Amino acid sequence: KEDISVINMSFGTVRYSRVLEEAVKKLNGDGVILIGAAGNKGPKKDSVLYPAKFPEVVAVNASDGSGNIAVYSSRGPEIIFIAPGTNIESTWKNGGYSKETGTSMAAPQVAGAAAVIIGLLGSVSQQEIVARLRRYTVDLDLPQECQGFGRINFDWLKEELNT
């Protein structure tokens, strides 16, 4: 059995799946931190996709190049954080790199931050991860269904981790 602490889910569907929900509940019950891309269905209300729509998943929206919510980011009460998601350089096909845009680019950054925190503190709950990451958020003065607790300022997190 693998010792998995964090799973990033940069995928989404509008269709509910009982099998997906059961897997999410099982992983969450096993203490795995689940991070999910909220979806690119914005600015339509109540447009968060599964699996980010499940309460066991930390739903992540994307910010644009100016640090504001990206217009394409889904909206809904499930949103927990915003992270950079516009023109993000990432690995791509055939061992290459590409600049991509979407909540699927934002969620891995939150998953990475969660993994770093776990690496420093040891085993912690998803609630503790959310509480710790909240310390580094910027309130964008938007409704909760857009920003959750706010946009994570990774520079602040990095600064504290280096002290």
What is the number of domains present in the chain? 1
Whether 113 is covered by a domain: the verdict is yes
Strand order in 79-84's β-sheet?
Answer: 6-9, 33-37, 58-63, 79-84, 151-152, 137-138
Q: What is the pLDDT of residue 64?
A: 94
Q: What is the pLDDT of residue 123?
A: 87
More confident residue, 3 or 83: 83
Q: To the nearest 10°, report the CA torsion of 111, 137, 139, 46.
A: 20
Tell me: pLDDT of 2 over 80. no
Residue numbers of the domain that contains 128: 6-161
Mean pLDDT computed over 1-20: 93
Whether 62 is covered by a domain: the verdict is yes
Tens digit of pLDDT for each residue in 69-98? 999 999 999 999 999 999 999 999 999 999
**pTM summary value:** 0.94
Instruction: Specify the CATH number for the domain of residue 12.
Output: 3.40.50.200
Tens digit of pLDDT for each residue in 24-33? 999 999 999 9
Mean pLDDT computed over 27-50: 97
Which residues fall within 8 angstroms of residue 17, CB to CB, at 6 or more apart?
A: 50
Tell me: pLDDT of 41 over 60. yes
* 97-100 vs 137-138, strand pairing mode: unpaired
- Half-sphere exposure at residue 118, Cβ-oriented, CA atoms within 13 angstroms: 21
Q: What percent of the chain has pLDDT over 70?
A: 99
Work out the pLDDT band at 1, boundaries 50, 70, 90.
Answer: low
Cα separation values, 113 from 33, 41, 99, 152, Å: 11, 25, 21, 10
Q: What is the pLDDT of residue 162?
A: 80
More confident residue, 67 or 163: 67
Whether 119 is covered by a domain: the verdict is yes
Number of CB atoms found within 10 A of residue 11's CB: 14
Residue 24: Cβ-neighbour burial (10 angstroms; 0-12, 13-18, 19+): buried
Say how far apart CA 22 and CA 78 lie, in whole Å.
18
Whether 90 is covered by a domain: the verdict is yes
Q: Lowest mean pLDDT: which of 8-12, 67-71, 124-128, 156-160?
A: 156-160
Whether 1 is covered by a domain: the verdict is no
Tens digit of pLDDT for each residue in 98-117? 999 999 999 999 999 999 99
User: If we measure between CA atoms, which residue out of 44, 58, 75 comes closest to residue 137?
Assistant: 58
Whether 33 is covered by a domain: the verdict is yes
Decide if 104 contacts 8 (C-beta within 8 A): no
Whether 28 is covered by a domain: the verdict is yes
Q: What is the pLDDT of residue 6?
A: 97
